[in-house]
Structure 1
């Protein structure tokens, strides 16, 4: 391959999609660089990366995961895992594949333009999926690369969850990829028949054979090179050697941490801060890394009265979406069911009768914290601050999620199979201050980071790219991953990451015409 027309950095949830779609044009040379290994087929993927009953990203010491040092709160350090393998985090996540809500698209289209409206996004959402449950129709497709099936609710714990929600008078939500009233329902998943099919497999298994698409693993991109204000290539480290790879256009798909950090290292970001680090400033864009959006999470465990069989397919059971008090965002609280004990979920073992868990998340749109680059050396990690629990509204929503889950566990439907919640106890549940302290000591995150390179209009100090990912003030450089979403969606962003790859690829294809 000579100089590629497009160089894509990162083969994850958006990058694999973008490279596959662009390379469908045989006249366009595409180079895809991935920092981790690039298995070429299903058979080459390690089995633990395909097993839908575990979450590889939660496994300690996995060679396919990079851990980013971060702080959830000033006194709560954390290591945020991200996939470092073909398929990126879609290879190591939980297989949750739920679309954003119409409200999200309404909000994003204000910053990103009409391409981000729900009506414009829906054809792309249909085109990316093969819905094995519902087939083709006004809302769903049956010919896309991503196979979707909904979790089985026949497991006794899932049946009890459904019955408890009904006992509390909560609605059923049969299709969480529609836009119905939030409630209880199965989880749409890209795990089918017990296998988690990542975007590398879904999009690149066939596309990788195209002569105009080159996929290279083990390539860590250190920075973007410029001539004036035009991006001309990237500096790559491979097998301990550094080189510069030129390209006609560069698209960063390195994730909400990786893309923002790469922009900083390349001289794009808050100019004064970068200059202090000795990074030559190409474009002063203070929005890069200024804040982020994610979903704080806590885990509640309960004890089954009798040992339960392991699920045959996914670890996921049902999901319940509730609206917090005030009702500003419908369905902003998520109660996600695990049918596997936490110790088994992360790849270990669990004794018979071990507690099962609910993962509770506050998914209201919010921006806080941020990503600050601390050195011009790419090997020095950035400082990542989630800024969780800073407001009373943040704390209130998580209290409501915990209390709602405790209420479900107290229903007659659930007490038939459960001997109760492990913690917190009644005194803690009834005391706001005590419950806040309990939540703070057990706080985690849903791994849904967005918003570090937010889209918006040129000249807007809160924006860094336009609605098609083009970086403001420079030429030949785009960002296409969840970093461009100004706020995180009201649901986990895996499906939206794939949509971003589709949307930006569609824009690039149309621009050539």
Structure 2
């Protein structure tokens, strides 16, 4: 597939990966009609009904056609379980297979980036690019954008009463309420936002790539398996890729940009001979440039489902029969409305696990159903659940090429829950969530606890439950981190250290993982990087105020003091 009959074998820019970052770059770089851009994607079309219909979100991420079905090595602190790690393999990348949850992260997450050597990536520097990217359904202000490509709203506006019950319960438990966790104040309970526009998944393929594909200076090639970056001495000069059994080489006059994601980008660097010497030699890859941080510092979010029976027949468990699904699908096809037009995560919460934690490290997604995220099993009866995770992990993992063959998936090891802080965070998740769900707001709805179950109370019982039940939230990141020290892979201009004309722009360059879902900050990174690449200069830093609990050292929530973090 190509958007152009242009048969160039040389382009100004070559972008690898048409995902959350690559689609943004393809759009922004081709705004300049004087440059030619080639966008390479291993997957194919995103036109599938299962991608475009928000409620069908569990299907594309579990379909080989649309997603790399990666698996980790046995995780030593999760009872040696192999964890599922799907990544987008389709136009739009992971923005075409994800849950469409729109969370920027806390302001302090980006200040943390700057403190880790990512100069110019503080919240004040990043906020203008969050605003540039989006059109917020309720209008723009100092925090929200009103003219960007990315449509953001609240789905069905919390029509199910369970959504509001969750928000009310959080407030009854002593936490803040927040009207807009992507605005002035993240901490608290309130409506959740999603990348849906006019009832349709608003991926970066829909928001950014499709408009750019009308331009004659963009060529999109799908079903392209990239083998390596072509290097001459320490200069990136092009890409070798395979399509339909034919191996081709294309040259870049200006730059090669890797936007293959937190698994794909470090793997491609290693396949190209850029990475830790021992890893490359073990894989049989000739070392072109030793860069020890490539594939290291890997981070992810974990979560589990806290499930309860529901005393009223108002949950999505009553909509899982084929007849009800057919009606939902038919209405969506007719007018893009109803239950087909939402991801069903319409209320949420961000809280701090204990006093002494400055900004939220726990995140809630509320779902008016009791079922697995992948849709494979559901509670037999009416139920609801809240997804809860500790979002500022200390554990670190790695990505390592197994061989020089680009068809061989890399080894992936997150070392989930290796650090005691992470294990303590999940103990807090269990105890704090029970307290919230047992508030009076849930009295009309709350039945028996399904999971973890009343028998899970002590630290040892909670730890055992978490090891067996926790799942990835599908947020791999930080494996080519930005900074200036010896283990940084790219500099604050997104350029690979020691290699000219080569950049990485995607979630792999995050220095640390933000408190929230990663699609929004990935898009922001690409927006900011596009200005850097084009030499336009960054947008002026924002002076918008960040809402914080001034008493965070003394208390865990707005209403009561708690123990201090160690």
* Two-structure CA RMSD over aligned residues (Å): 2.0
**Structure 2 length normalisation: TM-score?**
0.85
Task: Please name the residue that 1:330 is paired with.
Answer: 359
Task: Please name the residue that 1:451 is paired with.
Answer: 478
CA 1:58–1:410: 2 relative to 1, 3 Å: farther
Identify unmatched segments of 5+ residues in structure 1: 40-44
CA 1:183–1:285: 2 relative to 1, 3 Å: same
Q: 2:243 aligns with which of 238, 257, 261?
A: 238
CA 1:110–1:349: 2 relative to 1, 3 Å: closer
1:273 CA displacement: 2.5
1:62 CA displacement: 4.4
Answer yes or no: is 1:356 the counterpart of 2:384: yes
Answer yes or no: is 1:146 the counterpart of 2:153: no
SS of aligned partner of 1:426: coil
Task: Please name the residue that 1:428 is paired with.
Answer: 456
Q: Distance in 2 between matches of 1:261 and 1:196?
A: 29
CA contact (8 A) 1:261 1:382 kept: yes
Task: Please name the residue that 2:333 is paired with.
Answer: none
1:138 CA displacement: 1.4
1:423 CA displacement: 2.3
Q: 1:87 aligns with which of 89, 92, 108?
A: 92
Answer yes or no: is 1:251 the counterpart of 2:257: yes
1:100 CA displacement: 2.2
Deviations 1:342-399 (CA, angstroms, capped at 9, x unpaired): 25x5456868834332111111153511112221112222111111111221111111
1:142 CA displacement: 0.9
Identify unmatched segments of 5+ residues in structure 2: 1-5, 317-337, 539-566
Q: Distance in 2 between matches of 1:323 and 1:61?
A: 36
Answer yes or no: is 1:304 the counterpart of 2:310: yes
Q: 1:99 aligns with which of 97, 104, 121?
A: 104
**Structure 1 length normalisation: TM-score?**
0.93
Answer yes or no: is 1:286 the counterpart of 2:292: yes
Deviations 1:422-455 (CA, angstroms, capped at 9, x unpaired): 02233312x1101100110112111111111011
Deviations 1:78-128 (CA, angstroms, capped at 9, x unpaired): 121111111000011111111122111111123454431222222211111
Task: Please name the residue that 1:316 is paired with.
Answer: 345
CA 1:309–1:443: 2 relative to 1, 3 Å: closer
Matches within 5 A, 1:259-278: 259-278=265-284
Deviations 1:446-474 (CA, angstroms, capped at 9, x unpaired): 111111101111xx222010112100001
CA contact (8 A) 1:329 1:364 kept: no
Answer yes or no: is 1:208 the counterpart of 2:209: no
1:338 CA displacement: 1.6
Task: Please name the residue that 2:468 is paired with.
Answer: 441
SS of aligned partner of 2:430: helix
Q: Distance in 1 between matches of 2:141 and 2:238?
A: 43
CA contact (8 A) 2:152 2:196 kept: yes
SS of aligned partner of 1:189: coil
CA contact (8 A) 2:14 2:37 kept: yes
